[in-house]
Structure 1
């Protein structure tokens, strides 16, 4: 049973108690959203850049050329990174970092103002289970019509997406320059 239906000691909650628990959960969620939105407007500390690492927001603090620190949780510790090489991927808005121990990180810079330190650890977005395998499509005409409408919608969004990726390319270029600069 979920926490909203079961109280302490395994006792089933009454309807008013469940309603109060749902209201409290909504308020906690709203407070978290307000907190993160307020921190997105705040400027980041000097040298800190927000990136996506494995579809989750993370903060990358460039301390010196070849040295950086990574924070993957909101109030988590900074993990030291010893960087061996930095380069851009085939998709120019991605940055590939090779660490001294041989592991590789692929980062996607976040445009300033779209995420703050409070967003560390949160998903990139999008509903879970929205892959085509989970959607059970059919061969009926309605599905075909929806598919055509979706493609038309994507053609309208394509220029916007290109502009957004161009902005990401600029921030990826700046990140590579900051990490690879030699003293």
Structure 2
């Protein structure tokens, strides 16, 4: 007699897959690889924001402020939620916005990539492009952000650890979690 396997907690049904989590967790790198494995397009929301604004995220923060950036981010992500299957990497703060989070949860499959702040601090010091870290201790910032944001990220139906293992390990864990 065949035994049926229990269904994954949030099986993928073809809607966009949106990766959320703190900066440095690997949303873009893992997202590109996940999209390739699924044969889907990959979209980096931060790159889409920069293209729409005609400036870098750091320039947006410098010229305007974080609230202005978050409003543009919300509008770009809403545009990306078009029902077409794809993998979308969001910025670390996107899922914190109530409207953006509600839209992602309603129209996509959200996957929280989670890693300890210590792992993330090591990763983010490799590039100086993150406005929230300028002139600050990355570990302190990431611990503070985790305290505020992790409860919101936890509303994503799929949670995947992104530790010091290769990105392919994270991709395989996502594929397993979505039933692929």
TM value normalised by structure 1 = 0.24
* Higher helix fraction (1 or 2): 2
Answer 1 or 2: higher relative contact order, Cα 8 Å, separation at least 6: 2
* Higher strand fraction (1 or 2): 1
TM value normalised by structure 2 = 0.25
For the pair shown, which has the larger CA radius of gyration, 1 or 2? 1
